[in-house]
Copies of this chain bind each other. A is one copy, B any other.
Amino acid sequence: MIDLTMDLPGLNLKNPIMPASGCFGFGREYSEFYDLSRLGAVIMKAATGDVRYGNNTPRVAETSSGMLNAIGLQNPGVEKIIENEVPFLANYAIPIIANVAGSTLEEYVKVALAFNKTESVNALELNISCPNVKEGGIQFGTDPDMAATVTEKVKEASNLPVYVKLSPNVSDIVGMAKAVEKAGADGLSMINTLTGMQIHLETKKPLLANKTGGLSGQAIKPIAIRMIYEVKQHVTIPIIGMGGISTAEDVLEFLLAGASAVAVGTANFQNPCVCPEIIDALPRTLEQYGFQSVLDAVGKGYEA
């Protein structure tokens, strides 16, 4: 028997597979395809302090082996999420991770505080890396000091473990990781999307209404693997890995690089059942490469 379980701060995972934030809504649509209790956990779409409409459309574009998105954090606001969405997900026996976003320090804290009210959320994923949101022109996700500050404040406010989601759009990912670890993060989540653009030849303008968007999908996997591999050597907190995962082999590559669990984003759009299919395939894949458990594989890319 291959052991798929993984214990992380606040999260007892029966397997290491979860849908990535923003690619799974609040689970309702995918619950029509499979029983969500099969998942290791679920990461909800970003919550902000108040309702947001987000960016104008078009919001997505296709690229080679990937896509760009600029949804712009559309969501009903944290209170509505707690009222209407969390109870639905709480029907399934899986840990719930709330993705926390904001444009200001105060908004992050407000959202984090709000989630203290519900028993059903098990951890926060602090989204400091949404490429479409900035304060004073600087992204929380690219300045180590700002990242540390928001981590600290959210840790103070929240009674939940906090996984800080890092942006790959930085010169020094290790510096960012160390800064938020020092600031008290319980874990890391990486990577968010890379900022990209597509210009539409017909209109001669950026295709996305927001001009830039976040690049995700298989195209970015080598960047995610590199960053996780580098960061893992410098931090002791666990990493939830993501970026281009669509097969059990991809999952193993992330585990070897140093991730303790993974999230699957864009691949859900190609195949709505990709998460349970990966979960089904994972034991055989681990066994094939000589592992008895998920834990066995974590970080093994350094040692061999």
Contact = CB atoms under 8 A, between A and B. Distances in A.
Nearest to A176: B171
A68 B300 CA distance: 21
Interface residues of A, number: 47
B63 A222 contact: yes
Nearest to A63: B222
Given A64-B219, A171-B169, A225 B201 contact: no
Contacts of A220: 219
A218 B215 CA distance: 13
A212 interface: yes
A203 to B, nearest CB: 6
How many copies of this chain are found per oligomer? 2
B218 A222 contact: no
A199 B68 contact: no
Nearest to A195: B226
A301 interface: yes
Interface stretch (A78-86, A98-106, A251-259, A268-276): A251-259
A287 interface: no
Interface of A: 63-66, 68, 142-143, 169-172, 194-199, 201-206, 211-212, 215, 217-223, 225-226, 229, 244, 249, 252-253, 256-257, 289, 300-301, 303-304
Given A198-B253, A204-B300, 19 more contacts: A63-B221, A63-B222, A65-B218, A170-B170, A170-B171, A171-B172, A196-B225, A196-B226, A197-B225, A197-B226, A199-B229, A201-B249, A201-B253, A201-B256, A204-B256, A204-B301, A204-B304, A205-B304, A206-B229
